[in-house]
Amino acid sequence: MTDDDPYLWLEEVTGETALDWVRARNAETVAELTGAPRFAGLRDEVREVLDAEDRIPYVRRRGEHLYNFWQDAQHPRGLWRRTTLESYRSAEPEWEVVLDVDALAAAEGESWVWQGATVLRPGYHRALVELSRGGADAAVVREFDLVALSFVEDGFSLPEAKSQVGWIDEDRVYVGTDFGEGSLTTSGYPRVAKEWRRGTPLAEATTVFEGKPDDVSAGAFHDPTKGFERDFVYRSLDFYRREKYLRTADGLVRVDVPEDAETSVHREWLLVSIRSEWTVGKVTHPAGSLLAARFDDFLAGRRELDVLFSPDEHTSLAYHTWTRNHLVVATLVDVKSRFEVLTPGPSGWTRAPLAGAPEVGAADVLDTSPDLDDEYLLNASGYTQPATLYRGEIGGGVEVLKRAPAFFDAEGLEVAQHFATSEDGTRIPYFVVRRPDADGPTMLYGYGGFEVSLTPSYSGVIGRGWLARGGTYVVANIRGGGEYGPTWHSSVLREQRLRVYEDFAAVARDLVARGITRPERLAIHGGSNGGLLMGVMLTRYPELFGAIVCQVPLLDMRRYHRLLAGASWMAEYGDPDEPADWEFLREYSPYQNVRSGQQYPPTFILTSTRDDRVHPGHARKMVARLRELGYDVRYYENIEGGHGGAADNEQLAFKWGLVFEFLWERFS
């Protein structure tokens, strides 16, 4: 396959010619969208939501402390801080600052963005802190002392890379990073896992496992659970297939499950979540099942499996998480959250509802303490219900820890679930949030990929910027997501991808058929894989929409696998270098399907220079092509922000202000 792309020069991320083009497009967009008084109001209202002092400070328990990462107007890059449960219960917790990222950035002259921290178990006195420049996936790693509250001099440290690092014990870590030539996969992730001992150069770390160059990644990790200490290595063959091995003194022992199954180990238990049918003995378990076995017995060859969950037409497994003695199983019933507690015992597994779990649209178990006790933290909200954070103990009580404020007036708003019928007859659910007498425009959001489920949760940003101003908000649960289990996703991979776009178009048509909106009053919005969805809607179904917002998108499916992390997604989309794959990719690849003389709706494409996951060249080239043909398109590229598109709340509020102003200007 040859490249005859006149805009390849826009793939030079920091090339001066390309950046001059970006600056010119940014200036045009900013001049167009920020001049009206409404923009400042939109931006400021979003900023108030993002910086609100009374929003919930979500926490994770690490030993005796609850840790929180907090950003506001005074701390745009954020504070990593901690408190105790007793203090957290109060209206004004006493926070101890662990790390001030703004102060660190100022002292070091770097645009640091917090990427998280891995805390040593079971002592909880050291952490491996990850910081990125401008919000990219690539990050530096530094060891931090959680007693002295300072970085450890001559501690574990890694330069900027897409690294994988985790504790073995206080003096050893597993590390995968850019060790030099041949150490990364074609997707740009670590291929080699090493054991690195404190006080020794990284170059002397011992290799414990190697994947293959065409794998997505390979790595190693340690389970420090007392009495059940184990070490594992793995190779991710593609985005959905993995081999996992127990690392023993005698060598590696394969955890012999299907490659597309997900496994986890807790104490004596192995859990297996299967993406496709699995026949064990005379029993065939359907895709989407959750199975359990005793880990040592399974590795020894025994195949007695307990069925912990089996899907049906309406119910799918969302995830599962352990407390010390119990397993919490989260499911979706027609995209609404439900929870069950399973407890292993001498006579098998017992079941009970999770006490106190609210009946709202979306809820998530945010944290448990499987080393310590049976505590769980659960967050629940709905499209019109602000979040409530609960703390419970299985077998004990449930308390409300925090309630989020209402950021918009939801009185009179109604939430309804409808089903559209796609071209192949599949029923596609979607949620509509509106006032019954609404006559404003409609914004339809979708994603449709990578088994990501869109559940009905609260958004102060959407509420203020759209619903409170009379708009209708719609979320489509199209195939490609995980709302109905793995087959909802796997049925539209690769050559079946057009089904995703047919689903979204079906929802758009159903909204019109029900009288909820009209095509000229219907906007659509999506990012990343959802940005690809937007590009396909633009080029295949332009007559259905009045405006399109497309963020951090994939758009050039001929070259996506050659750009940054793109090679890791070939299991989702296909390999453009294979002629048979390119035949189905070229049917919908937006960049290759832009045509002259079409009635494309006004379009706004946004991305980030520092996005090192989805290359900004996708967005740049699409805009250049649309401009060449005279279409109504504008562009904004934030310099920072990585794949999230913004590095702090100021940037995020500005971006949302541009998006909302673009839409309201179209529909005024």
The whole-angstrom separation of Cα 336 and Cα 121 is: 34
Distance, in Å, from the CA atom of 105 to the CA atom of 111, rounded to the nearest integer, reads 6
* Structure tokens belonging to residue 147: 């007693």
Report the distance separating Cα 274 and Cα 288, nearest Å. 5
Q: How is the beta sheet containing 251-254 ordered, strand by strand? A: 217-223, 230-236, 242-248, 251-254
* Residue 601, phi then psi, degrees to nearest 5: -75, 160
Please report, for residues 134, 303, 642, 663, the alpha-carbon distance to residue 115 in angstroms, rounded to integers and kept in the order given.
11, 40, 11, 32
Rounded CA separation 488/183 (Å): 35
> For 124, left (φ over 0), alpha (ψ -120 to 50), or beta?
left
H/E stretch holding 298 reads: helix 295-299
Amino acid in position 514: R
CB 648 within 8 A of CB 584: no
| φ/ψ (deg, to 5) at 256 | -85, 80
According to DSSP, the residues that pair with 195 across neighbouring strands are: 174, 206
The token duo for 106 is 């100022």
- In terms of Cβ atoms closer than 10 Å to its own Cβ (0-12, 13-18, 19+), residue 325 is middle
What Rg do the C-alpha atoms of the chain give, in angstroms?
25
Q: Locate the DSSP E strands across 466-622.
A: 472-476, 522-527, 547-551, 603-608
Distance CA(623)–CA(489), nearest Å, equals: 30
Dihedral, CA atoms, 7, 10, 15, 17, nearest 10 degrees?
A: 60
Half-sphere exposure of 459 (CA within 13 A, CB side): 17
The span from the CA of 517 to the CA of 523, in Å, is 10
- CA 586, CA 321: separation in Å to the nearest integer? 41
Reduced to 3 states, what is the DSSP secondary structure of residue 495? helix
Bridging pattern class, strands 283-285 and 278-280: antiparallel
For residue 188, what is the enclosing H or E element?
Answer: none
- Whole-Å CA distances, 238 to 401, 524, 569: 41, 31, 8
C-alpha span between 561 and 591 (Å, rounded): 14
Q: Please give the backbone phi and psi of residue 93, each rounded to the nearest 5 degrees, phi first.
A: -60, 150
CA distance linking residue 657 with residue 668, whole number of Å: 16
Identify the three-state secondary structure at position 135. coil
Please name the residue that has the structure tokens 């593609």: 238
Work out the angle at residue 466's Cα, subtended by the Cα atoms of residues 462 and 471, and round it to the nearest 5 degrees.
130
* CA 110 to chain CA centroid, nearest Å: 26
Contact indicator for 610, 599 with CB cutoff of 8 Å: no
Question: Angle at CA 183, nearest 5°, toward 177 and 189?
Answer: 55
Residues involved in catalysis: 528, 643
